[in-house]
Structure 1
């Protein structure tokens, strides 16, 4: 029977003790069954053919202490406390640094109309739907005694109350900007002297018996902890129109980082993270300037971001990274499950890159022909962005109605004055005729 490394068995026994120790005295037979299931799951999960090339076993990956540290799955356990640490640091950063910085840069929040307190509408808004259909609006109109137009206006104002302000969006962008900048500089400093940074063939020389440097270990842990914190806080962050794609991106990134570390794809994994961080820095900085209404600087920076994104994600990533994992690696070992799974995750990321590149090219097209970037097609617009446009149209419509009403009143007043003048003239003429009648007689 093929067994996983001894350290993996020890970690499995530790988890078994943590989860099953309260039931040992009361249900000994359940403990015995659970132990057997845990042992079976542990053996099945860490089968050598899943994680290692054919002909290589776990014993072949053993490194002496003087040779360095071999990546172990239990190392990833520290990413969970790191994720919560990132959440706390973000909370402190946004209030201590980001909010004052937004005021210095002139970020202004839009003044929104507060929806009046209507308990029935509020209950429907929270429990049923934020955007009621026409039959639902008609039913609510009968229940509340309000017109359908007032019901629709109330829901629009209520939705706008929950929309994030520019300050909140600026704080999120600034937090991601600081992390991506720090991670990129740290990753570049740790990789620039490595042979596989310049020649990707070195990623596979001696694989899988490759030691992991301390700098690359922390690069991995911090990146995975950060993306895990983004996934944990996705429900409270600004919901953008590419929300589903972002969630898929975070999940694929976590699987990619975790699997590549366990399968010791650390060398090529560091290159993948470095390529992604390079363009994300420019994107978050462009967002910050967009919220601060630094239009010209934001547009110029966005063009630079578009160039870097297209080059790094559509040229460097597929031609250097995916090429070496998909083709060059076959010169050093035969394909196995880990080979197919790792490349499948990379292709998922590449598909997302193509989707975002399409949106970016649409914005660049608008910039070229209209002279400015109207809105962020990639991820800066929220999923309910049409509410603001509807609100502006509604205000314009109401203003037009007021103007038309004033014009109607003015025209009515003019007609009334003309009618009065006509009546007065007729009365005057009638009096003159009556005064002349006796003389004529």
Structure 2
């Protein structure tokens, strides 16, 4: 039965245009083609990325945070209370008023003390400013290097300037070493993001992030199987072109460089809109939907690849809506919270207590008022609008 499923999965008609078989993509005469078995290498490489990330965050990002004066905000810990802790972990982190009254009687706290306990307990679970800075630093470094590498890989190719050449001779298009490593590194990185998503900074667009990572991994893998290498390299480089700008804006946000953060975010918003809402749908999607039909009849792989591209485009529209709304409020000078962020909760009582504990203004506050762990708009429980 396994062999039958295997044969159906690798049926030529699913992956290749009519009148072509896998035999046509066997290495010969010095020409090398993509092989599904190559992708096994990306799983162990993803764990190598996780190790490199740990070393980078420890020995590069952490000292950099110190140089940029990234300070942690002092958080008052919730007192030990088994009744409230059990409700927090097993029932709800945001109790309703009726629950607060009941918990007040069981715990011996006043309703106000119960509310403060839950507020502090939620703050304890939120990621620290240093964790956010380290994560943004790692992503910034990778996306910047990946974008530069991607441009090196494709900038001298004829299909970079004439998208019809993406499909000339398809699928009998030999694989270049630079394309091989570009694919292996990009796919391994996205595997590492998926593996670490549970421990990374949580965002309100968590589900969209999971969908994005899965769709990206499927697209990269599928384009490898079907030898959509030329189109794949264009798409990956296009995505990397704006991601490093967002991560750098976050880094300056956490460092308190508010004006620099604002300016980079506006540049990011412009680049994101141009690449994801103009170039991708009107050039790249046109290239993957229209041009292939000039060279071969549509087949399952053609439909599946473009369906996944549409899924990604829908996510881009979702993130673009949030980005445009934030950028508009930047320009008009309004203070706004990132809808995807999950910031610390405070009230006047907590602030007074913090001053009493520290004897000074809490870290994260300035003479102009609290910055909410940096800049309110980019307070990172994002993931990147990727």
TM over 0.5: yes
**CA-CA distance at 1:264 after TM superposition:** 0.7
How many corresponding residue pairs?
354
Root mean square deviation, CA, Å = 1.8
Given the superposition, is the C-alpha separation of residues 318 and 75 from structure 1 closer, same or farther in structure 2, using an over 3 Å criterion?
Answer: same
Given the superposition, is the C-alpha separation of residues 128 and 219 from structure 1 closer, same or farther in structure 2, using an over 3 Å criterion?
Answer: same
More displaced stretch, 355-364 vs 285-294: 355-364
Q: Deviations over 1:152-208 (max 9, x none)?
A: 110110110111111110000000001001111111111111111111111100111
Take 1:394 and 1:342, find their aligned partners in 2: how far apart are those partners? Answer: 55
- Matching residue of 1:170: 133
| Matched ranges for 1:210-249 at <5 A | 210-249=173-212
- Matching residue of 2:368: none
- Matching residue of 1:346: 309
Residue 109 of structure 1: which of 55, 60, 72 is its match? 72
**CA-CA distance at 1:82 after TM superposition:** 1.0
In the alignment, structure 1 residue 59 sits paired with structure 2 residue 14: no
Q: Deviations over 1:298-322 (max 9, x none)?
A: 1111111111111111111111110
| Matched ranges for 1:144-223 at <5 A | 144-223=107-186
Larger relative contact order (Cα-Cα within 8 Å, sequence gap ≥ 6): 2
| Matched ranges for 1:258-407 at <5 A | 258-370=221-333, 374-377=336-339, 379=340, 381-382=341-342, 385=343, 387-388=344-345, 391-392=346-347, 395=350
More displaced stretch, 77-86 vs 56-65: 56-65
Take 2:12 and 2:229, find their aligned partners in 1: how far apart are those partners? Answer: 18
In structure 2, stretches of 5+ residues that fail to align are: 355-386
Take 2:286 and 2:349, find their aligned partners in 1: how far apart are those partners? Answer: 53
- Matching residue of 2:365: none
Given the superposition, is the C-alpha separation of residues 134 and 282 from structure 1 closer, same or farther in structure 2, using an over 3 Å criterion?
Answer: same
Paired residues of 1:183 and 1:277 also in contact (CA < 8 A): yes
- Could you state the TM-score of these two structures normalised by the residue count of structure 1? 0.77
Paired residues of 1:177 and 1:284 also in contact (CA < 8 A): yes
User: Is the radius of gyration larger for structure 1 or structure 2?
Assistant: 1
- Could you state the TM-score of these two structures normalised by the residue count of structure 2? 0.88
Paired residues of 1:364 and 1:373 also in contact (CA < 8 A): no
Paired residues of 1:187 and 1:219 also in contact (CA < 8 A): yes
In structure 1, stretches of 5+ residues that fail to align are: 1-36, 400-441
- Matching residue of 2:372: none
